[in-house]
Each structure stands twice: as C-alpha cells, then as structure tokens.
Amino acid sequence: LRTRLLFLSPKDLYTAPESCEGRCEEPYSREDTCHCHPECHRYRNCCRDYNWHCHPKGFSRSQDAITDQELLHISEQLYQVDHNKAQPTDVTINPQHRAAPEETGDQEDHSPQPLYKHVNEELFSKPTYSSFIKLLDNYQRVTGREEEVTAEELREQDTFLKEVMETELMKKLFVFLHQKNRYGSEQEFVADLKEMWFGLYSRRDGEQDSSGFEHVFSGEVKKGKVSGFHNWIRFYLLEKRGVVNYFSHNFDGPWDTYPDVLGLQFSWDGFYKEVGSAFIGSSPEFEFGLYTLCFIARPGRACHLSLGGHRLSIQTYPWTKSTYGHGRKFIATAYVISS
C-alpha cells in the first residue's frame, strides 16, 4: 500500500488548470481547459492525468478539491468577518459619469469632480491599514527598473503579514486552506504569502522589477499605460495629492454598503487606465484574503464568489516565467471582474 502524504507537495499547492492535481470531483466549468469531474470520461474532456489522480487508486484526495459551492460559502464567511471595513459614514464617493463600453478607451475626463468626496482617515490608524499604507511607497512604478528592497521594507512586509494574520478574516481563510491540505501550519501559510505576493520577478528587460503586491495594490506603468492598480486606498491617497485624475466609471456593484465594487477610468500622472476595477471601502485584509483564496483555488480562471448574497468573480493569473519553492508560482495579477 502506498502511504499518502498528509499535505500537498509544493508543486501541487496551486490548482493547475491543465491537471487534475487537487481537482478531483471539481464541478464542470466551461472555463476549464480540461475536466476532473466523474463524467469527464463520458464527454471525453478529462485532463490527461485524470486516472492517475482521481481513480480510486490515485494519489489525490477528492475531499481536497475546492468546489464552486465551497468558494461561495467561504467567501460569504470572509465577507461577514471583515470587521475593519469602512462603514457608510466613513466613505462617500461621487461616481458621476457612467461610461458606455465604447467610451472607456477615449481618455476623456467626463467627471469634473474627484471620485472621493469624503474618507474618514481614522480608518488608516487601524493596524492593517497603517501597515498596508507603509508598503505603497516601496516601489519603482515603471517596469524595467530594478527594485531595491531595503531591510526596513522587508520589516514592513513582515509587519503587514503579522497584522493581517491577527484578523479573524485571515485566520478563517487559513483554517479553510488547512482543511483542504494546502498548508500544514500557519507559519507555512505566512511564509508562502510572503513569497507569492512580495517575491520579485521580471516583467521587463530581465530586471527584478515587479511583484504581485506592487502590481495589484500599488500599481505599475508599462509601455506608457497604467498596469494593475486595483486598490481604493492607494487611489484615494494619490487623488488627494492631485496625481490621480478620475475620469468615469463603467461598473458600479449592487452592494448598498461596503465593500462595494467599481470599475473606473483614470489617469495617473498622465498615464491612462482604461478599466481599473477595485473594491471600495474594504479592509486591506479582505482584498488580500480574497485574492489569495482565488489564486490558490482557481489560478488563471474566473473564481466565482458570493458577497452579501450577490455574486461576483475574481480573475487571477500566475507568473509563469519564473517560480519559487520547487515550482510554486508568483502572483502576476488579481482583480475583480467588473462587467
């Protein structure tokens, strides 16, 4: 008899879209390139390694697969425990012009007023907010420029991870991933969070110029356009300084409280973002946790969630040109699908 490992090996940590590793009995989705549900043989669309992993004698355990229903359930749980989110009186936005699909690329400022009318900056004194904000100025925004990471910046990364892991939200996410045999301990989870989000890789010219955190939360400029930049706190702080100019929005989510979702058009020092989706009023740990969940469960595919009874989807992509820890992938991007 083969002895089954309790936890997935590093290279099996993330659900690979072209493999059945960790996906046995996963429900059918037309977005998948191949399938691992029990009926896939009948429809002749199984992944090539289906028998190896999902046959009764295979290695993978079907109970370790993260199902669509489980994603809906855990996302609602995380939504309920986002205790640090903004309250309705904390943030007031002024969305103004709603852009039609053909308008999002016209680079015209259709909204004369700023997006944010009011933000209660006392929010930013909360530990997860304050440690998050300290990270935002650690990056060269233009790709192709080597990032120089100082000892202080490494400490800021550790402080942020420490603060988010003290929240009920991130503890609940860890318990879920632990039950799914993705991590054996909280220490292992935190170490992987640091690599997947803060580990450096090259987007241009071979320089170690980017990371998942920089791209998603701080924003980059690549080939004359804004790349990434999906965070409401970053947007507010730069708009307040006058270096971000809000143009319009193409999507406003159905939520009547925070967190909400907005798809928006803006310029950053003259560099344009055609559609920059963002949660509005969420805590840093909420975004960090949801993006992490989707990156682990559905990398490279739409990750379907539920927040307050409303459905939404998050898209993540792994960085495929380099890896860490015996084949683990860095985060290339993560964002809310705003359409």
Which sequence positions are flagged as catalytic?
215, 230, 273
C-alpha separations of 165 from 12, 81, 178, 193, 294 in Å: 24, 13, 14, 11, 18
- Phi, psi for residue 316 in degrees, rounded to 5: -125, 155
3-state class of 293 per DSSP?
Answer: helix
Cβ-contact 201, 330 below 8 angstroms: yes
Nearest to 198 by CA among 237, 159, 238: 159
3-state class of 304 per DSSP?
Answer: strand
- Phi, psi for residue 33 in degrees, rounded to 5: -75, -30
3-state class of 279 per DSSP?
Answer: strand
C-alpha separations of 175 from 78, 165, 171 in Å: 12, 12, 6
Nearest to 54 by CA among 26, 15, 16, 34: 26
DSSP assignment string, 74-122: HHHHHHHT-TTSPPTTTEEE---PBPPGGGTTS------S-SEEEE-GG
- Bridge partner list, 306: 311
Which amino acid belongs to residue 240?
A: K
Dihedral, 99, 231, 311, 256 alpha carbons, nearest 10: -70
- Three-class SS string for 227-277? ECCCEHHHHHHHHHHCCEEEEEEEEECCCCCCCEEEEEEEEECCEEEEEEE
Which amino acid belongs to residue 70?
A: E
How many of the other CB atoms lie within 10 Å of CB of 13? 24
